[in-house]
Amino acid sequence: MAAHQEPILPETPCWWRLSLLDDTLFGKLTQLWLNINPEKAWHLGSADLFITSIQVTPQSNQPWANACTYAQLYEQASGAERSINFTFATPTAFRQGNFDTALPSKESVFKSLLQRWNKYSGIEISPEIIDCIFPSFFNIRTEIASDSRSKFIGCVGQVSYKIMGEVEPEVIKQINAIADFALYAGVGRKTPMGMGMVRRQTN
């Protein structure tokens, strides 16, 4: 990311986030994490890293940590909540034809989530659920993310959506499930390089 091109000073606390779509990987990594020695350095390039803690559940100081199965996400989703408030923490962009757009329209955001959900979850949700979602609040700006080859413009900030009209509780539940899924899947393009980190804000 462009914001992280400056050298990190020694002794600076940092955090990394792993997002897994396969429960078996989580089980294998758990064994590794349980045996980490906080006194022993891990090497990343020329840097020595000391892993002091690993979090897999939300903390007051770290809301990006959590663990959940697709079935649990779906089961826990509300059939009544009509407000969806997202925080776009890292630049988020969407492919539109041959070009990228940084505007988080309902189609871009929810189609991205729905495609990933339907590909991996085993719980099929119809694309028609997007029809009743409407944007209700924007507080966003653009930022540049870059890798060694390219620069990408994406949005960061807050966007809220509302579920409008007469909508069955089951459809509301489906929308809430994919909105909650954003924490794990990310949204838009280049999520493996850290773009599209999105989290639902709870009131």
**Over its length of 203 residues, how does the chain's per-residue pLDDT go in tens digits?**
444 566 778 888 877 777 776 677 777 887 777 788 888 888 878 888 888 877 777 677 777 878 888 999 999 999 999 999 999 999 999 998 889 999 999 999 999 999 999 999 999 999 999 999 999 999 999 999 887 788 889 999 999 999 999 999 999 999 999 999 999 999 999 988 889 999 999 86
User: Number of folded domains in the chain?
Assistant: 1
Q: Sheet containing 151-163: which strands, arranged edge to edge?
A: 133-146, 151-163, 83-92, 198-201
Question: Counting beta carbons within 10 angstroms of the beta carbon of residue 28, is it exposed (0 to 12), middle (13 to 18) or buried (19 or more)?
Answer: exposed
CATH number for the domain spanning 64: value is: 3.30.70.1900
Q: Whole domain around residue 78: which residue ranges?
A: 1-203
Query: Where does 62-105 have alpha helices with state H?
Result: 70-76
Written as six digits, the tokens of 125 are: 């949700």
What whole-number distance in Å separates Cα of residue 116 and Cα of residue 134? Answer: 21
What whole-number distance in Å separates Cα of residue 177 and Cα of residue 162? Answer: 14
Q: What is the pTM of this model?
A: 0.84
